[in-house]
Amino acid sequence: MFRAVAAGPNPIVKRMNAFVINGYRFHTQKRDKAKKTQNFGVMVEAEGKTYFGKINDIVELDYYSECKVVLFRCDWMNVNSRGLKRDKRGFTLVNFSHKIHEGDALKDDPYIFSSQAQQVFYVEDEKDKGWEHIVKVNSRDTYRLGPLQVDDELYPKCMPADIRKDDEFRDPTYRANVAGES
């Protein structure tokens, strides 16, 4: 695998409008523009900070069919500047007019691995234009069931030895044939 990665990706790079990973369905902003739902919001925790973004592009790099990597190209809000604040009720708001990646320099690299992404969606603040509330989303394949409790009466530690196999129910002479009785 390392040899394939060192050789670089195949010349064909696959672009997608949607991708499902970690129990989340992600879309690009362009795909969600005409929809009522919103799946382009992304959150990443790195270097002790939480970053918020919006997905512009989803790219799959194929390393000679030995390894595939999916990247999200995002607009990232600048958490170090005026792009992040808390309101009087304690809700976090972001302003995407203050982006962190606006150039072509290496430090402005807007890509993340899809496996790093968590999903959020944004709700525009009606009173403070340009600011959006962040709503975190639970992944679709996980459930909060509380602590695991096992009832020994319902789930015995071992199965009783006298449980009969299906063959015993179909053939009345099964027990006699197995025991060598004819």
pLDDT tens digits along 83-108: 889 888 889 999 988 888 766 666 66
**Phi-psi sector, 78: left (phi>0), alpha (psi -120 to 50), beta:** beta
Q: Where are the domains of the chain?
A: 2-136
Q: Kindly state the greatest CA–CA separation across the chain.
A: 89
Which of the two residues, 8 and 93, has the higher pLDDT score?
93
Which of the two residues, 171 and 123, has the higher pLDDT score?
123
- 6-17 average pLDDT score: 79
Statement: residue 35 has pLDDT above 50 = yes
**Whole-number average pLDDT of the chain:** 78
Non-local (6+) Cβ contacts of 124 within 8 A are 131, 132, 133
pLDDT tens digits along 109-151: 789 999 999 999 999 999 888 999 999 988 876 666 666 555 5
**Residue 119 three-state SS:** strand
Q: Of all residues in the chain, what percent carry a pLDDT higher than 70?
A: 69
Dump the DSSP string for 15-80: EESEEEETTEEEE-HHHHTTSSS---EEEEEETTEEEEEEEEEEEEEEETTTEEEEEEEEEEB-TT
pLDDT of residue 29: 94
Statement: residue 71 has pLDDT above 90 = yes
